[in-house]
Amino acid sequence: IGGIAKEPPMHIVHIAVEMAPIAKVGGLGDVVTSLSRAVQDLGHTVDVVLPKYNCMNLSNVKDLHFRNSFAWGGMEINVWFGQVEGLPVYFLEPQNGMFSVGCIYGRNDDGHRFGFFCHAALEFLLQSGFQPDILHCHDWSSAPVAWLFKEHYAHYGLSNARVIFTIHNLEFGVNNIGRAMAYADKATTVSQTYSREVAGNPAISSHLHKFHGIVNGIDPDIWDPYNDHFIPVPYTPENVVEGKKAAKEALQQRLGLRRSDHPLVGIITRLTVQKGIHLIKHAVGQTLERNGQVVLLGSAPDSRIQNDFAHLADQLHSSHAGRVRFCLTYDEPLSHLIYAGADFILVPSLFEPCGLTQLIAMRYGSIPVVRRTGGLYDTVFDIDNDKERARAQGLEPNGFSFEGADPSGVDYALNRAISAWFDAREWFNSLCKRVMEQDWSWNRPALDYMELYHSARK
C-alpha cells in the first residue's frame, strides 16, 4: 500500500448506466458513485460517463451544461457535463431519444440501447482525446465496453487503457457477462464469498485467474446519521440511543404506528425472488407474533409480486393496525428514516452478491438480521456463532444470521434478535453503538481496487 501511494495518479473512467442519486435502481448505482468518490479522495482522477435519461432528477447535478456534440452511428449525440456528488459526469444524449423513455430499464430494447451507449461512450472518449489508464465497466449493461474496446478502440487513440469489469449481479445478462469476462484485463465481483459462489458458472470458470472478490463499501458522507436531513436528531455512537429513539418516534408517527416501545424490524428492498420474498413474509408474521412492529419499504418490478404485497398489506394494516406498515414504493428519504428508526434491518436474500442495506443499517446503529450468503456472510458476523471469524478480521460480532431457506432459519435468527431486545436492553444498546463504530466505508476496498488497477497495468 505504501508503494502504491507513491505511484503517479491514475485516470479512471467509469462507463455505467446507473449512478446514485440521479439514476439509481439498485446497488450498482450506489457503487459507481461511492467507489468513484473514494478513489478520487485518494488523489486520482475519476470521470463517469452516463446516458442522459429524461427521468433523472437534475436538481442533483451541479452546473449542468451543454458541452459539445459529435456524430456517430449516423446520429448526432449531445454531450452534457455536470457534477454529481463532486464527481465529473459526462451525459450522452443521442438525438433519437433512446434514453428519453421515462425509465432506465424495463423496455424490451434495453440491450440495444445500452450497447449503443457503450459504443458511443468509447467514441466520445476517443474523439475528445481522453487518455484514461482504466476503463471500468459494470454488469451486462456496460459489459460491451470490454469487447468494443479490445476489438476496435484499443487500436486507435485509447490504446493505453486497461479494462476492468465488475459483476454486481450474475443473474442478469450472462451472455454479455461471459463475453466481457473473456475480454477484460481484470474482473471483480462485489464480495469474496459471492466470487466463490459463482466460480463454477461457465461465464466465469475459465477466467478465475483474473477474477477477484472485493467487498463494496458505503459512502459515509452520503449515509451519515450525524448529517442527515431526513432524520430528526443527529447522532453518533455516543448518543445513538437518543438519536434512534427520536427517529423511531418520527417513523411511527409518519406511518401511523403505535408510539410505544416495541422492537421495530425494517425491510428495505426491491421485492424480487432474489430477496427471499417467502422469508420476508414469514418474518413479518413472526415479528408481529413476538409483539414487534414491522416497516417494509419495497418496490416490485413484477406487477404480480406488487399486487400480492398490496393484498397482504391491506390484510395486515387492518388485522394488525398500528403494528405494521408496508410502503410499496421507492422512497429514498423514507429509507433514511427507517435505517435510523429501526432496531433491526432484515435481509433474508436467497443470494446476495454484496448487499448494501446491511452496511447502511450498521452505519445507522441498526442490527442486521441476514441469511448467510454472499456479501451478507462476509459483512455480518453472528453474535453467537461467528466470534472467531469476526476476530480474525479484527471485528466483534455485529448481527444475527441463519442458514437455509425455510422459515425455521429466519425464526432462529429473528427470535434471538428480538429476545435480546426485550431481555438484555443494555447489552443491545451497546451492540448498536458497536456496529456504528465499525468501518464499512470504502477505506479498505478502495485500496484493493487501486491495487487491482495497478496490477492490470503491469
Residues that bind ligand ADP (CB under 6 A): 26-27, 30, 268-270, 297-299, 330-332, 335, 354-357, 360
Q: Which CB atom, from 166 or from 269, has the smaller least distance to ligand ADP?
A: 269
Calculate the CA 103 to chain-centre distance.
19
Determine the residue with CB nearest ligand ADP.
Answer: 27
Contacts of 257 (CB under 8 A, 6+ apart): 251, 293, 295, 322, 323, 324, 325
Helix (H, G, I), strand (E, B) or coil at 70: strand
Cβ contact 37:87 at 8 Å:
yes
Instruction: Go through 210-238 and write b for each residue having 16 or more CB atoms within 10 A of its CB, e for each that does not.
Output: bbbbbbbbbbbebbebeebeebbbebebe
**Beta carbon nearer to ligand ADP, 25 or 241:** 25
Closest distance to ligand ADP from the beta carbon of 270 (Å): 5
What is the C-alpha to C-alpha distance for residues 181 and 166, in angstroms, rounded to an integer?
Answer: 9
For residue 156, the minimal CB distance to ligand ADP (Å) is 35
**413, 375 contact by CB (below 8 A):** no
b or e along 314-333 (b: 16 or more beta carbons within 10 Å of the residue's beta carbon)?
eebeeeeeebbbbbbeeeee
Residue 298 Cβ vs ligand ADP, minimum distance, rounded to whole Å: 5
The answer to whether 26 touches 147, Cβ cutoff 8 Å, is: no
User: Would you give the DSSP letter of residue 383?
Assistant: T
Q: What is the largest CA-CA distance in the chain?
A: 69
Q: Which residue type sits at 95?
A: Q
Q: How far is the CB of 236 from ligand ADP (least distance, A)?
A: 21
CB-nearer residue toward ligand ADP: 93 or 352: 352
Of 240 and 297, CB closest to ligand ADP: 297
| Cβ 280 to ligand ADP shortest distance, Å | 12
Nearer to ligand ADP, 45 or 274 (CB): 274
Contact assessment for residue 443 and residue 216, using Cβ atoms and an 8 Å cutoff: no
- Residue closer to ligand ADP, measured from CB, 142 or 269: 269
CB 329, min distance to ligand ADP, A: 6
Closest separation between CB of residue 333 and ligand ADP, Å?
9
Nearest CB to ligand ADP, comparing residues 133 and 166? 166
Sign of dihedral through CA atoms 189, 192, 193, 197?
Answer: positive
